[in-house]
Structure 1
Amino acid sequence: MAYQPIENHAIIGDMHTVALVAIDGSIDWLCIPYFDSPSVFGSLLDDKKGGCFKIAPSEHHLSYKQFYWPGTNVLVTRFLSTQGAAELTDFMPVGSSENTGSHRFRLIRRLTAVRGTISFSLECRPAFNYAQDQHETELTTIGAVFSTEKLRLLLTTDKPLQISENGVVSKFTLREGQTCDFALVQLLPGSEWGVHLSSREAENLFRQTVCYWRNWIARCKYSGRWREMVYRSALTLKLLTFKPTGAIIAAPTTSLPEEIGGIRNWDYRFSWIRDSAFTIYAFMRLGFTEEAQSYMEFLSKVYRGFSRKNPPLQIMYGIDGRHELKEMELNHLDGYKGSRPVRVGNGAYQQLQLDIYGELLDAVYLCNKYGAPISFEEWLEVKHLIEWVCENWQLEDEGIWEVRGKKRHFIYSKLMCWVALDRGMRLAEKRSFPADISRWRKIRNEIYTFIMEKGWNAKQKAFVQSYGSEALDASILMMPLVFFISPVDPMMLSTLQAIMRSSHEGGLLANNLVYRYNFRKTDDGLAGKEGTFNICTFWLVEALARAGQYQPQLLEEAHLLFERMLGFANHVGLYAEEIGFSGEALGNFPQALTHLSLISAAYNLNKVLEAKGG
């Protein structure tokens, strides 16, 4: 089978794992039972060995449509052919079943012939443990069982199956109005095969799942412009939440390339500290205080007891809070369209990135302000983190972009150290917590002076990536967003102008999309290139919107930029990490940080537009 474009996928999930479903009805990526488990279907990373689960009409000349059942994460794929029309409804049950106290993976695929009589083909070819483990396939009276030593899966169906190589296949026909149901279920140790999923049971699970998602999104308090896109981003973030711990993964995939055929392929199935403040802010703004609090509890468990280590925090953790995320290369897989190596684990967890302290402290501050106030015990842990920043803010680090070259004095890292001290001081004063406020204020002022003097480049007339550099960096757009500088300070406006120059003229803009930095002036320790970064474009929108409160022409620029950026979402409103030269999605998909920044940009741009009567 040929590789589908990355953007030709949607996701379904149960807050333990997700599946990527292509527009042609093929499940091209699925890890069972959890986000970071080895893949069972991985044709996204190797179209021959990776494994897939496809249901589609047998006719070759088809057109496809794909959409979510309104207000849910239940996916509908519509097939249109000369024989008629059919719909495939995919979902992972959530709702009343999740209160049983134990988790068992289940995926339901409901196929209906809407018009005409249609012939279908099914192929289910699992490839366990990233296509490394052999498995046995056994036909039963209700379907087929796929077994390895570590994992057993049951595919139930009332259609006849045949064993074919490493999986099963089937050909069958449905007449207009007929529906058949397929269930892929994890068999827990000691469990029996059970019975085939009846049509009534499938319908009940469908209704429960639809009801769950509609009830959840009904809690959203956002009522501004672009509501549909904001809702879709919120639903996506909920899917990327690991229910047992509250952790949110950066993306559910690994090694989708930032350049087709390149080596910039990373595993994003972990929880980054960096995402914390963005997550808390987005959930709080939308009214999802429970999700924000759950994520904060996950973060507090991560740093509690480790605040006296040196350094006290890693940049990322496993979804269960584990610390070691050893990076390995799976050389037996070809990678997406030949993009190698395929990596699992992420060696960047050992990097020093000072910005995470500011992002964590901002998250703590926001949760204390809008959610549950932090305890004194938590404050003591937080205070140790702040003291560590006081002692170490002058270190060089790998920075927000996780460069694999030499360490530097990244200005964004210093900015977020300033945020750590600023939020720590505000929190201490608000709650009257014991703290050495005068020392913190002195060091906060030192960091401010360092940024204004060492981060400014007179030649570029802009704040730059690192001390002594001439390279522009989109992370500088965060300065007004964290209230470090006025959005209309002349130095910030000049920086905006520099960033908004074309990339061919030394800026970071290409087709109104933003690169994270200029490759000609930045050595990140890696070969190749990449696309524009979606989060950076949304940062630019928000920076322009904040400046637009005082300068109307910049508000108009922000509005147009945001509307254009919405046009780069895929057919169901999802974004990968990057956008390529021809508008294609690049990098892991979908990316949480992109959807978080979309929510933030939409909220703040709408707020300014309403204030201006626009």
Structure 2
Amino acid sequence: MKRYPLIAEHGLVGDLQTAALISDEGVVDWFAAPRFDSPGVFSALLDHDRGGYFRLSVDGPDVTVKQLYYPDTAMLVTRFMSPDGVGELMDWMPPDRTGRPTDRHALMRVMRCTRGTVAFTLECRPRFGFGRSPHDLRLDGRTAAFRSAAMAGFLQSNVPLERDGPHDVRGRLELSEGQIAGASFTVDGPEAAPPPLPDVAEVEAALWDAVDFWQRWVRTARYRGRWPDMVHRSAITLKLLTYLPSGAPIAAPTLGLPEQVGGERNWDYRYTWVRDGSLAVRALLDLGFAEEAAAFTDWLTARVTERAAGPSGGRPLQIMYRVDGDPSLPEEVLAEFE
């Protein structure tokens, strides 16, 4: 497992309220919940030793990997090729359709063997609140419940699970050609109960439901030019970075990554920058996605109205806001611009 894989060696999945980054080794090394701008649950991208991660990989010195997306979707496929066989890992998050903020978000992971035999290794090491919030672990059959003061996480899998120290779990499962296994990691409030254990049919239905959601959305684009696959992929990425309950896009799903190694620009980009958001939404509008443009226009109109109605009416807009429009940003974020 690489300690710090390049950003280019990651894929992005999300549910339109938050997002996760997954390396080409099958490692979730970035996931903040319940919103884009929430504290990290898995943040090994920033600190490999203390940040936490969720790994599903095929190990071995002769294993090669390839990562791609299922066509016109946000479903990420990581393919492991070894002398003994070929395995695939599909990652996704069920997309939000309600537009209502929620604490519950699920990361779905399905493993399959397409040739020969492959052995998947599972490691789940959540670190709530960027590793500052300790948690308890309860392992009950196919469910591992991780509970901290502010959040609970539930790992459910048909990979046999065992404790790996007091706070983490691991497992290993060998698959033969045609066999399938799955794992899900669900976050929720600290007192929440684990979700019902899904069966294979339910997971498969959820997968194809998500495929249908994204492919239907892409088909509403009016772009008819060259390289449509690349254009659609860019549009999906912009959509993944938009907070559906408010219609506000964020600049990036991560924080603390320097624009230049050794430089000062390692800001938190998980907020809505008025300039960047306007450019992103203009790109979507040019492609025919009018609903997203209307939602952002409503969000921006509300910010202008709030300013005009305030005690010092007429002040200019802030350069950035929280995704729900809250103008109060963390002190460490504001300090970066003073």
AA in 1 matched with 2:187: Q
Structure 1 range deviating more: 210-219 or 175-184: 175-184
Say whether the 8 Å CA contact 2:17–2:101 is kept in structure 1. no
> Are residue 321 (structure 1) and residue 322 (structure 2) matched?
no
Any idea what SS the aligned residue of 1:7 has?
helix
Aligned to 1:126: 126
Say whether the 8 Å CA contact 2:152–2:191 is kept in structure 1. no
Aligned to 1:582: none
TM-score by length of 2: 0.93
The correspondence of residues 42-191 of structure 1 with structure 2, limited to 5 A, is 42-94=43-95, 98-99=97-98, 103=102, 104-165=104-165, 166-188=167-189, 191=192
Any idea what SS the aligned residue of 2:72 has?
coil
Say whether the 8 Å CA contact 2:150–2:190 is kept in structure 1. no
Structure 1 range deviating more: 53-62 or 65-74: 53-62
> Are residue 3 (structure 1) and residue 7 (structure 2) matched?
no
Pairwise CA distance, 1:101? 5.4
Larger relative strand fraction: 2
Aligned to 2:29: 28
Q: Which runs of 5+ in 1 are unaligned?
A: 329-344, 352-403, 405-614
Say whether the 8 Å CA contact 2:147–2:190 is kept in structure 1. no
Pairwise CA distance, 1:74? 0.5
Any idea what SS the aligned residue of 2:16 has?
coil
C-alpha deviations, 1:437-459, integer Å up to 9, x for none? xxxxxxxxxxxxxxxxxxxxxxx
AA in 2 matched with 1:28: D
AA in 2 matched with 1:130: F
- Show structure 1 runs of 4+ deviating over 6 A: none
AA in 1 matched with 2:89: L
> Are residue 38 (structure 1) and residue 42 (structure 2) matched?
no
Aligned to 1:263: 264
Q: What root-mean-square deviation, in Å, do the aligned CA atoms of Structure 1 and Structure 2 show?
A: 1.8
User: Following the alignment from structure 1 to structure 2, what is the Cα–Cα distance between the partners of residues 246 and 17?
Assistant: 13
AA in 1 matched with 2:335: G
Which of the two has higher C-alpha Rg? 1
C-alpha deviations, 1:301-340, integer Å up to 9, x for none? 1121312536331110000111121243xxxxxxxxxxxx
AA in 1 matched with 2:119: S
AA in 2 matched with 1:316: M
Pairwise CA distance, 1:190? 5.1
Aligned to 2:335: 347
Say whether the 8 Å CA contact 2:142–2:161 is kept in structure 1. no
How many residue pairs align between the two structures? Answer: 332
Say whether the 8 Å CA contact 2:250–2:277 is kept in structure 1. no
Say whether the 8 Å CA contact 1:152–1:188 is kept in structure 2. yes
AA in 1 matched with 2:316: P
AA in 1 matched with 2:322: G
The correspondence of residues 209-220 of structure 1 with structure 2, limited to 5 A, is 209-220=210-221
AA in 2 matched with 1:324: S
Say whether the 8 Å CA contact 2:100–2:245 is kept in structure 1. no
User: Following the alignment from structure 2 to structure 1, what is the Cα–Cα distance between the partners of residues 206 and 163?
Assistant: 29
1:118/1:204 CA distance change after superposition, 3 Å: same
Pairwise CA distance, 1:59? 1.8
Say whether the 8 Å CA contact 1:126–1:167 is kept in structure 2. yes
Larger relative helix fraction: 1
AA in 1 matched with 2:319: I
User: Following the alignment from structure 1 to structure 2, what is the Cα–Cα distance between the partners of residues 346 and 178?
Assistant: 51
Any idea what SS the aligned residue of 1:130 has?
coil
C-alpha deviations, 1:67-125, integer Å up to 9, x for none? 11001000000000111100000000126xx3495632011000001111112211010
Aligned to 1:195: 196
Q: Which runs of 5+ in 2 are unaligned?
A: none
AA in 1 matched with 2:221: C
Pairwise CA distance, 1:39? 0.3
User: Following the alignment from structure 2 to structure 1, what is the Cα–Cα distance between the partners of residues 9 and 40?
Assistant: 19
User: Following the alignment from structure 1 to structure 2, what is the Cα–Cα distance between the partners of residues 110 and 290?
Assistant: 32
1:272/1:83 CA distance change after superposition, 3 Å: same
Any idea what SS the aligned residue of 1:37 has?
coil
Any idea what SS the aligned residue of 2:307 has?
coil
Say whether the 8 Å CA contact 2:142–2:160 is kept in structure 1. no
Any idea what SS the aligned residue of 1:122 has?
strand
User: Following the alignment from structure 1 to structure 2, what is the Cα–Cα distance between the partners of residues 135 and 40?
Assistant: 11
Say whether the 8 Å CA contact 2:25–2:57 is kept in structure 1. yes
C-alpha deviations, 1:189-220, integer Å up to 9, x for none? 65432432211111000010000000000000
